């Protein structure tokens, strides 16, 4: 059954065609705009999972159909990885009723109904749960037995605490992956639009580009960014770079490319006590220390370049670890099978050890709850020495993710609202430093979701370290004519 009341009422766009029903199908309006339908479909999938009327396997197939909609590139949405609980389900239902009551069927209205349904609500954390979280932010892949031994708890106590911090505090255990090992170059483009250019035009073009992984631009700032995955660095990056240079003349006042050289993520739970975050030391004296503390530099997942003994199977497993690095091999095998990859649990386990042994993967925890409600992204163009100084400072913040390039560093950080001005000023103070060229902020955003790499490589063939993608295919001018 198609999503909505009647597919005949939506001649310009067909809903996803997975055959399932939910008890709430009558709440879904019929619409003509495919971008609006995208969010309605996502809500219906989530309700189907919650009510048990759709299996996880069918939900994954439905999400694969969602990804065919260009709206997915602009706002990646995967209802199969949203925690299943009655709070979220009831919010979705209430928001659907509000849409119908006031006939709010614009893209912005329906998108808000979807995203606002999953906003986290702050719940006090117990000492046991905080102890478990503190340990797992340091060792995200630790076994329950090891964690229990170190924390002097029963394994069952740790397991229950883990379930609670995932459901109540929306903690996720993810992983960064070195794409360069598979001959894929990660690239970020920061930009501001020319005065006579409409964002919708650029957004549409970038959404249609086959190598776009994510897009982010808010109405609050002029700055936006796009991330790309370019296969065959030596062969294709020059063509990509030149195409960006050409289209920039027409579309962008500012265009800044970062070719990834490393990445990392860090939580600093030690700042959290008695339900409140203490400010990091850098808030009081930002970058006043003239000496770089080498010991303070964080763990970085460096891009090591092509590893000839790694292939598509290894990459497929790695992409699933990015979703849940604590998932057992059997679960990863099942998820891959639903996407057409038949990799048995034993082989999955071997790949995980192989990725870990070669330092091609770095686990980390993402903390959405516990009062970290304000999010910043900063593009900082600077010298290498300043990049290291910035790194040693930002890892003292509550939660930070960083993306390194020869051009500088990109930082995402989540901080409590009552300290947002102080942390913002830390970054703005960099602008006055010799060796720092620019500091560009995007405020009140979290790091956006994105297309899965396993989706991007779906039509590529990989053999002897080379993808079947030619330079002319990565030319951005196909989607954004100069």
- CA dist 133 and 170 (Å) reads 11
- CA dist 58 and 397 (Å) reads 40
> Which pLDDT tens digits describe the chain residue by residue (482 residues)?
333 333 333 333 445 555 678 888 889 998 999 999 999 999 999 898 887 777 766 887 888 888 888 888 878 888 877 766 677 888 899 999 999 888 889 998 898 888 888 766 667 899 999 999 999 999 999 999 999 999 999 999 999 999 999 988 889 999 999 999 999 999 999 999 999 999 999 999 999 999 999 988 877 678 999 999 999 999 999 999 999 999 999 999 999 999 999 999 999 999 999 889 999 988 887 776 556 666 667 889 999 999 999 999 999 999 999 999 999 999 999 999 988 899 999 999 999 999 999 999 999 999 877 888 778 899 999 999 999 999 989 999 999 999 999 999 999 999 887 888 889 889 988 988 889 999 998 865 554 556 778 888 888 899 888 999 999 999 999 999 98
**CA quadruple 102, 108, 111, 115: dihedral, nearest 10:** -100
- CA dist 222 and 117 (Å) reads 27
Residue spans per domain, the chain: 7-117, 127-169, 170-310+358-482, 311-357
Q: Give, in degrees to the nearest 5, the angle at Cα 198 between 201 and 74.
A: 50
Task: For 402-444, give the DSSP string.
Answer: EEEETTEEEEEEEE-GGGHHHHHHHHHHGGGSTTEEEEEEEES
């Amino acid at each position: 059954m198609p999503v909505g009341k009647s597919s005949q009422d939506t001649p310009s766009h067909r809903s996803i065609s997975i055959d399932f029903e939910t008890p709430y199908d009558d709440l879904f309006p019929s619409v003509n705009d495919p971008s609006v339908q995208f969010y309605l479909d996502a809500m219906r999938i989530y309700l189907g999972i919650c009510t048990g009327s759709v299996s996880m396997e069918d939900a994954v197939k439905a999400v694969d159909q969602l990804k065919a909609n260009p709206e997915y590139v602009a706002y990646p949405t995967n209802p199969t990885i949203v925690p299943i609980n009655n709070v979220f389900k009831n919010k979705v239902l209430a928001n659907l009723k509000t849409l119908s009551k006031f006939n709010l069927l614009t893209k912005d209205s329906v998108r808000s109904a979807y995203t606002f349904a999953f906003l986290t609500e702050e719940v006090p954390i117990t000492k046991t749960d905080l102890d478990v979280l503190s340990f797992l932010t340091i060792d995200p892949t630790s076994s329950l037995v090891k964690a229990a031994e170190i924390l002097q708890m029963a394994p069952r106590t740790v397991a229950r605490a883990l379930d609670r911090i995932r459901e109540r505090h929306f903690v996720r255990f993810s992983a960064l992956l070195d794409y360069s090992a598979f001959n894929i170059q990660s690239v970020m483009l920061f930009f501001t639009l020319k005065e006579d250019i409409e964002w919708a035009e650029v957004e549409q073009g970038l959404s249609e580009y086959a190598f776009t992984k994510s897009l982010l631009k808010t109405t609050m700032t002029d700055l936006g960014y796009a991330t790309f995955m370019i296969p065959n660095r030596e062969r294709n990056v020059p063509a990509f770079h030149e195409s960006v240079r050409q289209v920039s003349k027409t579309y962008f006042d500012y265009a800044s490319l970062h070719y990834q050289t490393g990445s990392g993520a860090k939580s600093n739970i030690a700042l959290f006590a008695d339900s409140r975050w203490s400010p990091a030391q850098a808030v009081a004296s930002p970058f006043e220390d003239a000496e770089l503390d080498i010991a303070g530099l964080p763990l970085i997942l460096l891009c090591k370049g092509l590893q000839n003994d790694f292939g598509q199977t290894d990459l497929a497993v790695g992409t699933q670890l990015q979703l849940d690095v604590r998932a057992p091999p059997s679960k990863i095998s099942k998820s891959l099978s639903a996407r057409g990859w038949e990799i048995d649990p034993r082989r999955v386990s071997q790949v995980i050890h192989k990725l870990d042994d070669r330092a091609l993967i770095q686990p980390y925890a993402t903390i959405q709850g516990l009062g970290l409600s304000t999010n910043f992204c900063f593009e900082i163009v600077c010298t290498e020495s300043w990049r290291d100084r910035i790194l040693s400072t930002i890892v003292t913040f509550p939660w930070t993710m960083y993306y390194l390039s020869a051009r500088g560093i990109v930082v995402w950080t989540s901080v409590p609202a009552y300290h947002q001005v102080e942390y913002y000023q830390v970054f703005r103070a960099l602008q006055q430093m010799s060796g720092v060229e620019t500091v560009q902020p995007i405020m009140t955003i979290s790091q956006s979701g994105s297309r899965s790499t396993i989706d991007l490589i779906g039509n590529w063939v990989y053999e002897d370290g080379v993808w079947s993608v030619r330079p002319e295919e990565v030319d951005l001018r196909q989607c954004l004519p100069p």
